[in-house]
Amino acid sequence: MSSDTYGGELPAQGSSGKASSTSSADKQKEKARVSRTSLILWHAHQNDAGAVRKLLEEDRSLVHARDYDNRTPLHVASLHGWIDVSKCLLDCGADVNAQDRWKNTPLADAEGSKKHNMIELLKSYGGLSYGQNGSHFEPKPVPPPLPNKCDWEIDPSELDFSNSNIIGKGSFGEILKASWRGTPVAVKRILPSLLDDRLVIQDFRHEVNLLVKLRHPNIVQFLGAVTERKPLMLITEYLRGGDLHQYLKEKGALHPSTAINFALDIARGMAYLHNEPNVIIHRDLKPRNVLLVNSSADHLKVGDFGLSKLIKVQNSHDIYKMTGETGSYRYMAPEVFKHRKYDKKVDVFSFAMILYEMLEGEPPFSNYEPYEAAKYVAEEHRPFFRSKLYLPELRDLTDKCWAADANQRPSFLDILKRLEKIKENVLTDHHWNIFNA
């Protein structure tokens, strides 16, 4: 915990008995303060205005308490729409425009969660909206200017393959780790035998044209391409952590908090791709196409856009007639397998299958061959949860995301809201357990 959050650093242990005694007393005071801080945040979350009022009568300064994300009790109450708790906090001097680490005020959180009565209350106290309409809600990204070809065409002589190794293979190419201007990069290279295949070249150029447009922290970053000479190559950042498939194979089922963080990263990247009016449907979302930035596995990115489709949307309910059986069978939405019209919700279905795999530690229907698994799913079967570690909220979210009716599946922006709320509940419960053990 940061010293400036909970009242300053503790003095160093001294050699004298007096210094030691003072230090011990300070430690006890600090421990008590941390406990009270945890309590007021917990009671604000639980909508217990009486308990909040009692704590403030004992220590008025608790109205300014902060959690690890710099969120105050008023942030917590505003997000949930707890009017009585918020009035109590405001009447006791809570800063109506306090900002958390995302620069959001309580009003921004209330607006993001659409708590209309809370919005009116906060505005009546002078509340202003900063940040991104709630830390739990992704901003709509501003589309970047499209670079000129000269900005990203790479001279193949700049690529050093002297210490390269193959890190992946596809149907028409291989992915190698190489060096570009001294920096490790991933290079997708078209196989020599396919360099004259018109469809392969078309797919390659499509992927390049797509990646040029993408800029997001949870999307593998495009660096450039070789399109004017052979072999054709696509260059992206190199991520040292490998892919999620291998990670899950080694680790098995993830702790719920880790699964939530991983799911948030994937959902953020996908929410960006699904942003209208230029919707990008991934169509092959699976653990092998989710990459870990480093061996610490603290950040994930969505990659491999070889099968992605860029669609100009006239309205949010547009349905697209596209090639059936596109992508990997095990994570495939039933409407794709059945060659029916489908839209961006096919990625939401695949996301559900990945979330299941993270919670269970094994691929969905691992006892079936991929094609048979897809066929089984198309017959309205779904994987069965066995693990006792998962949170009911995560299971409920998974159930909604793999609904047979695509219209019933939430958007990735809605998924983000739900995951953030689940994460907040987990963190609050976690603090409660720590400080009240």
Active site residues: 284
Element (H, E) at 280: strand 278-281
Q: Is beta strand 300-302 parallel, antiparallel or unpaired with respect to 290-292?
A: antiparallel
Rounded distance between C-alpha atoms, residue 204 and residue 189, angstroms: 10
Q: Which two tokens stand for residue 18?
A: 């007096």
Rounded distance between C-alpha atoms, residue 153 and residue 148, angstroms: 9
Q: How many CA atoms lie within 13 A of 50 on its CB side?
A: 0
User: If DSSP codes are grouped into helix, strand and coil, which group holds residue 376?
Assistant: helix
53 DSSP 8-state letter? H
The candidate with the shortest Cα–Cα distance to 276, out of 320, 311, 302, is 311
Please state the separation of Cα 219 from the chain's center in Å.
11
Of the chain, the end-to-end C-alpha distance in Å amounts to 18
Q: Which residues pair with 415 in a beta bridge?
A: none
Rounded distance between C-alpha atoms, residue 14 and residue 384, angstroms: 59
Rounded distance between C-alpha atoms, residue 70 and residue 101, angstroms: 6
Other beta carbons within 10 angstroms of residue 77's beta carbon come to: 31
Q: Sort residue 339 into left (φ over 0), alpha (ψ -120 to 50) or beta.
A: left
Cis amide bond preceding 364, omega within 30 = no
Other beta carbons within 10 angstroms of residue 201's beta carbon come to: 16
Contact 283, 182 (CB under 8 A): no
Residue 54 annotated as binding site: no
Which residues are known binding-site members? 188
Which residues are known binding-site members for ATP? 188
